A and B are shown apart, each in its own frame.
Chain A
């Protein structure tokens, strides 16, 4: 699965549970993906985090599992590194 496909599936999951208004609150975007490790960093709006998680829980198939929630991309990168013992290779500006 590539980043575009994952993002479209996440958008569809949020749309299914909460419609366009919910999607506006969440605005999910895949900012980094390592398909070989089954790892992705998904950016959501802070106020839409619970809605996003609820959409994942209410989706028929398991789309993604939330490993950790971070406030910054730098922290997300550190978590990725700690998970796989290597630099996840995220660009600072992503």
Chain B
């Protein structure tokens, strides 16, 4: 049971990472800065609960706002460029954040114990949940509540004008600009939103594992973050969730008996999926087919009745 809850925890946090990349991918921008925002959320909310003894919800909120703020700041210079340049710029941002926390040492004496980030030793004492009597099931519940809220918000975004604007920028920037859309504003907004989502994911991650260090926030995690929505397809938020379940649940956990070979399989799988389905597993055609099937089923039901 603990094992299962652990997997659910990982899937939840990775879904948040994937969704934060998804939001920016809708505008056609591939960002590897997500792991930087994730790290900011993790460290800021961790510092707030550990050193300043804040309530977890307030700390998570401020952590994600800080991540969003940095996303906003980095959005302006980074989004002046696009495509390949953005990839490079965002890799650099994530590495700057990682190296900053790698060098950050802020040890404080709280209730007779020295706590806080300890540069290369990592940030160890993020024990808010244990100290306040939360059980693992509550933590998993909180993570999945956040995941559901974010997914609903992103789904809702697709139903209103904002989603159409995002997708318009992603499909054809020139056409979007010609119809009066402010490209920079849309992209920076998407970047900020992605930062907020990644930040809250980072805060949840730090508190559920009780320990973070700079190794957690390497570029590898950022490539995971973008691989979920790309493999899942950008048509729907469900695609991202399915991709996370498939990769984290099936490849990483389910194939544990294969040892090292899992990572080899992961690399091959990405290559294979991209060749077979360049638009992702759940692409436009498949979504349309499913819709058709669903409406046929409901119509069929009505005819029988």
Do A and B associate with each other?
Answer: no
